Amino acid sequence: MTTEPELWNSERCAEEWGLTGPDPGRVWRSYVSKGYAPQADAYDGRSPRWKASKVIAASAARTGQGRPRGKTLAERLDAALTFTETLGVAEEEFEVALDLTTPAEDRREDAGSVEMTLSAMSAALDEVRAFCARRADEYGATLPGLRSSDPQHPSLEAIRADAFRILFRDFARDCSRISLNAAATAQLARAAVHPD
């Protein structure tokens, strides 16, 4: 006796892939239409259904078998933005580190704290920058296939892809600039109390 494969609707597939937003099922169907996710295996009336095993396999292939899914942009941004809450503290600690009337041990401790905070912030921003640069490249790679035969009237998909390519590219550049500044300031904090 053969058992029928378990079939999932688009919402369940979106859940398996960790897709979010106001309508994850719609995001899933968009992935399918663009070829990022498998085509439907069956239909229940007009509603597409996917074999659960196929969706799970495609998800594993997409992220690497046995590896956790990569961080989303929101998670990367959250990691970078948590450091902005500590920048005020780091600024005050840097003032202490530069104050020659403060005992040397306290100056070293505060400078070390500033260095650690800013180095971690720089690393988090580098992650965001790398993600955004990859996304900009991905959008750029899709543009030639989306070009319309009439250059005066580009397709809406090409306009959208180009807008997101520019947005991700510019965000990556800004993250890179801020990351470099944070790293340089971390080195300055270290040099303030360790002049050698």
37 and 83 inside one domain: no
Task: Decide if 106 is inside a domain.
Answer: yes
Q: Domain span at residue 157? A: 73-193
Task: Decide if 156 is inside a domain.
Answer: yes
Task: Decide if 185 is inside a domain.
Answer: yes
Please tell me the predicted confidence (pLDDT) of residue 65.
36
105 and 145 inside one domain: yes
| Mean of pLDDT values over 1-8 | 73
| Identity of residue 26 | R
Task: Decide if 34 is inside a domain.
Answer: yes
48 and 103 inside one domain: no
44 and 80 inside one domain: no
Please tell me the predicted confidence (pLDDT) of residue 49.
95
Q: Could you tell me if 104 and 193 are in contact, meaning their C-beta atoms sit under 8 angstroms apart?
A: yes
In eight-state DSSP terms, residue 182 is H
- Number of compact structural domains in the chain: 2
Task: Decide if 124 is inside a domain.
Answer: yes
pLDDT band at 161 (very low <50, low <70, confident <90, very high): confident
Our CA angle for 44, 47, 53, nearest 5°, is 75
pTM reported for the whole predicted model: 0.51
Please tell me the predicted confidence (pLDDT) of residue 75.
63
54 and 120 inside one domain: no
Please tell me the predicted confidence (pLDDT) of residue 154.
73
14 and 58 inside one domain: yes
Task: Decide if 68 is inside a domain.
Answer: no
The tens digit of pLDDT for each residue in 95-132 reads 777 888 888 888 788 787 778 777 777 877 788 888 88
Does residue 54 surpass a pLDDT of 50?
yes
Q: Give dist(CA 192, CA 123) in Å, integer.
A: 22
- % pLDDT > 90, the chain: 8
134 and 56 inside one domain: no
Q: Could you tell me if 8 and 55 are in contact, meaning their C-beta atoms sit under 8 angstroms apart?
A: yes
Q: What is the mean pLDDT of the chain?
A: 78
183 and 127 inside one domain: yes
User: Treating both helix axes as pointing N-terminal to C-terminal, what angle do 104-146 and 73-98 enclose, rounded to 10 degrees?
Assistant: 150
The tens digit of pLDDT for each residue in 13-22 reads 988 888 877 7
181 and 114 inside one domain: yes
| Mean of pLDDT values over 67-74 | 54
- % pLDDT > 70, the chain: 79
Which residues make Cβ contacts (< 8 Å) with residue 55, sequence separation at least 6? 8, 13, 16, 17, 37, 38
Beta strands (DSSP E) in 12-53 are 42-44, 47-51
